[in-house]
Structure 1
Amino acid sequence: TMSAWEDLELLLDSPSSLTVTSNARGTVKDKANFKPEDDVAALRKAIEGLGTTEKTLIDVLTQRSNAQRQLIGTAYQKVTGRTLVADLEGDTHGDFEDLLVALVTPPAAYDCHEVMKAIKGSGTTESTLTEIFASRSNRQIKAMTDVYLKETGRLMSHDLKSEVSGDYCKALLILAEGKRDESTNVDTAKAKAEAKALYEAGEKKWGTDEDKFIDILCHRSVPQLRQTLIEYKNISKKTLQESIESEMSGDLEELLVAVVKCVKNAPAYFAERLFKAMKGAGTTESTLTRILVSRSEIDLMDIKEEYKKLFGYTLYCRLESEVSGSYGETLKKLCGQDG
């Protein structure tokens, strides 16, 4: 299953989901001839009638873009005096409810709420924080932290600091600043020098200088890091990912590996996350919901391609066997059957 990660030279010209602003690779697009008032009428009928008509909820909400769902929400509140979120929460339950609420939430607010959930209650869900902060662009991180401040009156970084610690915290906070360099210029000499510095901070010495890894991996631009990955392999004969895996452990290892994977190929990273969420006994629905909703207008088409390359069958076919009911139907609609 290493194919997606192997050929580093191919990376240099391939686009990155960390910097892309087009939604051409999403599975969900704006619906043509969109009339919010028609959708509101259909949703009201589905919600206010005797027993909820799940099919209508699914059809309307999966076949409109998030921007269109916001317009539906505004129109819905005008007509009913209630918020669409509150009515969906009152009328559906469990994973299906979480999924519909995710769909009608603006992307920045959805990311923000996922972070809140991950740090709330007893025990922090580091894997969620890792996934979000390793894979979001500066723009997305900024939007998410703005929502956090607006909703809580606190800085997200402040709350993260009180929930996570050590080197993991250090790296996460740098990512949460949303200040990754975004220039597209690649300085090859610097990439060579930093690859060498990483080699000397890890493989070459006894004990690892984590700070060096954190600094370089969390600050440099995607094109620059891609060049550094190539230079690293030339020096070390191992990939940087393999070195991190042998030199580090725990949450820091997971975060830095996620950063490297997202720099190389974010869709392949998400494909792997989806695979793991459906592996073995029990399915991690929250992960399926978050990835399918949050990538549906960014790169879900690419994620599906990488999934098939990595695992030999389609994501749709896997969902077919792993999730069911209205929840499963909704996920499959977001995924789309092609390819």
Structure 2
Amino acid sequence: MSSVWDDLDLLLDSPSSLTVNSTVRGTIKEKPSFNPAEDAAALRKAIEGIGTTEKTLIDILTQRSNAQRQLICKAYQDATGKTLCDDLEGDTHGHFEDILVALITPPAKFDCQEFTRAIKGAGTDESVLIELFASRSNHQIKAMCDAYLAETGRALIHDLKSEVSGDFEKTLLILAEGKRVESTNVDVAKAKEDAKILYEAGEKKWGTDESKFIDILCHRSVPQLRQTLVEYKSLSGKTLQESIEREMTGRLEDILVAIVKCVKSVPAYLAERLYKSMKGAGTTESTLTRIIVSRSEVDLQDIKAEYKKLFGTSLYSDIASETSGDFRQTLLKICGEDGK
């Protein structure tokens, strides 16, 4: 399984979802000749009719961009005096309700709600925190923090501090500042030096100096870190991921490995998260919903391609066999079949 993560050959020239701010690799595009009032009326009819017409809800909400869905929400409220969100919550239920509501939520607000869900309740869901902060760009992290402040009146970093501790906390807090260097210039000498620092802080030393790993992995730019991964392997004969897995344990190991994976390929990292959410004990619907919806206009096409490379099966067919009902239909519509 780890072999795909060890292949560094093509790394330096491939684009990264952490730095490219584009919707080209999404599966959902803006609908041409879009009429929000018409869509709002069709949704209203589907909700108010005898028995909700789920197919109409799915067809409209999965075939419009998020920006267009915001206009539909406004038109719906203007026409009915009620919010589409409230009416969907009143009329649908379970995972189907969750995914429809996710679709009509602005992306930054959706990330913010997922963050809140991860820290609320009994015990913190660290795996969700790791996914959110390792896979999001500076821009997305800042937008999530702004949405959190607007929603709660508190700084996200403040609430994060009370939920986590130790080196894991330190790593998350640095990522949550969204200050990863944005430059695309690569300083090879610096990459060699960083690789040496990491090697000496880990493999070469009795006991690991975690702070060096945290500092370098959370601050350097993606192109710079990719070069560092290449230099590390030629210096130590091992990949940085292998060294982290040998030297560290627990949540710190999990988050540093996630950062390394996302530096290489956010789509491959998220493909792996999707696979585990379906193939573990019981399907984790919330993970499926979060990744499929939040990446639908970012890089879901790339996630599908990486999924096939990693697991030899299509994301579409795995979703079809691991989920059911209207929830399944909605996921499949967003995902789109291979080659489409």
**TM-score normalised by the chain length of structure 2:** 0.98
- Measure, in 1, the Cα distance between the counterparts of 2:133 and 2:237: 29
**2:120 aligned with 1:120:** yes
What displacement does 1:32 show?
A: 1.1
Query: 1:3/1:203 Cα in 2 relative to 1: closer, same or farther (>3 Å)?
Result: closer
The ranges of structure 1 where at least 4 consecutive aligned residues each deviate by more than 6 angstroms after the TM superposition are none
Q: Which moved more, 1:327-336 or 1:1-10?
A: 1-10
Question: Aligned residue for 1:303?
Answer: 303
* Aligned counterparts of 1:327 and 1:16: Cα–Cα separation in 2: 30
Letter in 2 for 1:159: D
Identity %: 74
Distance 1:307 1:282 in 2: 19
Q: Which residue in 1 is equivalent to 2:79?
A: 79
* Corresponding residue for residue 264 of structure 1: 264
Query: Which position in structure 2 is the counterpart of 1:288?
Result: 288
Counterpart residue number, 2:4: 4
Distance 2:181 2:221 in 1: 5
Superimposed CA distance per residue, residues 14-41 of structure 1 (whole angstroms, 9 cap, x where no aligned partner): 1000011110000000011111111011
Are the counterparts in 1 of residues 181 and 219 from structure 2 also a CA contact under 8 Å? yes
The letter for the 2-side match of 1:252 is L
Show the counterpart of 1:167: 167
Shift in Å at residue 6 of structure 1? Answer: 3.1
Structure 1 unmatched runs, 5+: none
Identify the residue that residue 321 of structure 1 maps to in structure 2: 321
Amino acid corresponding to residue 243 of structure 2 in structure 1? S
Is the counterpart of residue 135 in structure 1 residue 135 in structure 2?
A: yes
Give per-residue Cα distances to partners, 1:160-203, cap 9 Å, x unaligned: 00001110000000000000000001010110001000000011
1:158-197 counterparts in 2 under 5 A?
158-197=158-197
CA distance in 1, matches of 2:250, 2:82: 45
Query: Is the CA contact (8 Å cut-off) linking 1:4 and 1:268 kept in structure 2?
Result: no
- Alpha-carbon distance between aligned partners in 1 of 2:148 and 2:285, rounded to the nearest angstrom: 24
Give the match's secondary structure for 1:278. helix
CA distance in 2, matches of 1:122, 1:326: 29
For 1:257 and 1:81, the matched residues in 2 are separated by 48
For residues 324-339 of structure 1, what are the structure 2 equivalents within 5 Å?
324-339=324-339
Alignment of 1:46 with 2:34, yes or no, is: no
Secondary structure of the 1:163 match is coil
Residue aligning to 1:250: 250
Q: Could you report, residue by residue, the CA deviation over 1:104-159 in whole angstroms, capped at 9, with x for unpaired residues?
A: 00000000000000001110000000000001011101111001001101000000
* Counterpart Cα distance in 1 of 2:58 and 2:4: 33
Given that 1:112 and 1:145 are in contact with CA atoms closer than 8 Å, whether structure 2 keeps it comes out as: yes
Aligned partner of residue 122 in structure 1, secondary structure: coil
Find out whether 1:64 has 2:60 as its counterpart. no
Paired amino acid for 2:52: T
CA distance in 2 between counterparts of 1:281 and 1:123 reads 20
**1:233–1:240: 8 Å Cα contact kept in structure 2?**
yes
Residue identity in the other structure for 2:81: G
CA contact (8 A) 1:96 1:327 kept: yes
- Report the aligned-residue RMSD: 0.8
User: In structure 1, how many angstroms separate the alpha carbons of the residues matched to 2:304 and 2:196?
Assistant: 35
Question: How big is the shift at 1:3?
Answer: 5.1
Q: Distance in 2 between matches of 1:244 and 1:183?
A: 26
Structure 2 residue runs without a partner (length 5+): none
Structure 2 match to 1:204: 204
Paired residue type of 2:307: Y
Using the size of structure 1 for normalisation, the TM-score is 0.99
* 8 Å CA contact 1:2, 1:310 repeated in 2: no
Classify the secondary structure of the residue corresponding to 2:10. Answer: helix
Asked if the contact 2:6/2:239 (under 8 Å) is kept, the reply is no
1:156 and 1:243 map into 2 onto residues whose CA distance is 32
- Are the counterparts in 1 of residues 175 and 218 from structure 2 also a CA contact under 8 Å? yes
1:221 corresponds to which residue? 221
Report the Cα distance in structure 2 between the residues aligned to 1:4 and 1:97, rounded to whole angstroms: 36
State whether residues 108 and 147 of structure 2, in contact with CA within 8 Å, keep that contact through their aligned partners in structure 1.
yes
AA partner of residue 338 (structure 1)? D
Letter in 2 for 1:125: D
2:55 aligns to what? Answer: 55
Structure 1 letter corresponding to 2:119 = I
- Within 2, Cα distance between the matches of 1:27 and 1:140? 19
- Give the letter for the 1:195 counterpart: A
On the 8 A contact 1:145/1:155 being kept in 2, the answer is yes
CA contact (8 A) 1:4 1:306 kept: no
